[in-house]
Chain A
Amino acid sequence: GAVVSQHPSWVICKSGTSVKIECRSLDFQATTMFWYRQFPKQSLMLMATSNEGSKATYEQGVEKDKFLINHASLTLSTLTVTSAHPEDSSFYICSGRASYNEQFFGPGTRLTVL
């Protein structure tokens, strides 16, 4: 299957700083990318859907000014957690949808905010 990578795999930052997470589709063009958040022992919660070249659509309850999503190309989407706080510590997972509609997931990024 197609491959999606995320970088970094693990990041630790101080409270108040911003963190950028990259999601790349390595061998296919992802017209749509999804960002999920996963708390320990809980399911993945969809945060937002982004289509290449347009603004992301955020799920109810997700602060769009705090979680900035950019999908500038068919192979790259970024999630920036602005002014991060300890409650933002979580596991963030992205997925990309190929032109043939299969959805492929990245390995995730663990964010720890001190």
Chain B
Amino acid sequence: GDSVTQMEGPVTLSEEAFLTINCTYTATGYPSLFWYVQYPGEGLQLLLKATKADDKGSNKGFEATYRKETTSFHLEKGSVQVSDSAVYFCALTSDDAGGTSYGKLTFGQGTILTVHP
């Protein structure tokens, strides 16, 4: 079945540092890939997505590129801020070719990011 593996956290960085959170996946067919973010006390929010190989999703300075050859979707940001402190989830769905997140989502275990001033 489908699975998602994220780098283990927690990750602690200083403000303006470079961020990478690794994500690899196993899926049948051609899944759509997502990064969700969960701020303290709030629900998961879609951060970015990519629906096919070599697509780059981007939002709020975060980027991730769909790499089919390495089955990866690593999240990056060039300069993190304290407000980026949250839990980040990598996810995929393989039953919706349209790239929307309506289908069943398979999540990674989440990575806690803490950014210090």
Residues of chain A touching chain B, judged by Cβ–Cβ distance below 8 Å, are 1, 4, 32, 34, 41-46, 49, 93, 95, 97, 100-108
By the criterion CB–CB under 8 Å, are B45 and A1 in contact? yes
By the criterion CB–CB under 8 Å, are A107 and B104 in contact? no
By the criterion CB–CB under 8 Å, are B107 and A106 in contact? no
For this complex, 28 residue pairs linking A to B, each with C-beta atoms less than 8 Å apart, are A1-B45, A1-B46, A4-B43, A34-B105, A41-B109, A41-B110, A42-B109, A43-B89, A43-B107, A43-B108, A43-B109, A43-B110, A44-B89, A44-B105, A45-B107, A46-B105, A46-B106, A49-B104, A95-B44, A97-B102, A102-B101, A103-B46, A103-B101, A104-B43, A105-B36, A105-B44, A107-B42, A108-B43
Expressed in whole angstroms, the Cα–Cα distance for A45 and B107 within the complex equals 7
By the criterion CB–CB under 8 Å, are B43 and A102 in contact? no
CB 8 Å contact bits of B37-68 with A (1 = contact, 0 = none): 00001111110000000000000000000000
By the criterion CB–CB under 8 Å, are A93 and B105 in contact? no
Tell me the B1-51 residues at the A interface (CB within 8 Å): 4, 36, 41-46
Residue of A nearest to B108 (CB): A43
* Chain A interface, DSSP helix/strand/loop, else mixed: strand
Contact partner, B107, options A44, A102, A107, Cβ 8 Å: A44
Residue of A nearest to B112 (CB): A41
Chain A residues positioned under 8 Å from B46 (CB to CB):
1, 102-103
Residue of B nearest to A99 (CB): B102
Asked if B100 is at the interface of the complex by the 8 Å CB criterion, the answer is yes
The number of A-B residue pairs with CB atoms under 8 Å apart is 53
Asked if B98 is at the interface of the complex by the 8 Å CB criterion, the answer is yes
- Size class of the contact patch on chain B: 20 to 34
By the criterion CB–CB under 8 Å, are B104 and A93 in contact? no
Chain B residues positioned under 8 Å from A45 (CB to CB):
107
By the criterion CB–CB under 8 Å, are B107 and A101 in contact? no
Contact partner, A101, options B42, B101, B104, B109, Cβ 8 Å: B101
Given the known interface contacts A43-B4, A43-B89, A44-B89, the answer about A103 and B105 at a Cβ–Cβ threshold of 8 Å is: yes
By the criterion CB–CB under 8 Å, are A107 and B41 in contact? yes
Kindly provide the distance from the CB of B12 to the nearest chain A CB, expressed in whole angstroms.
16
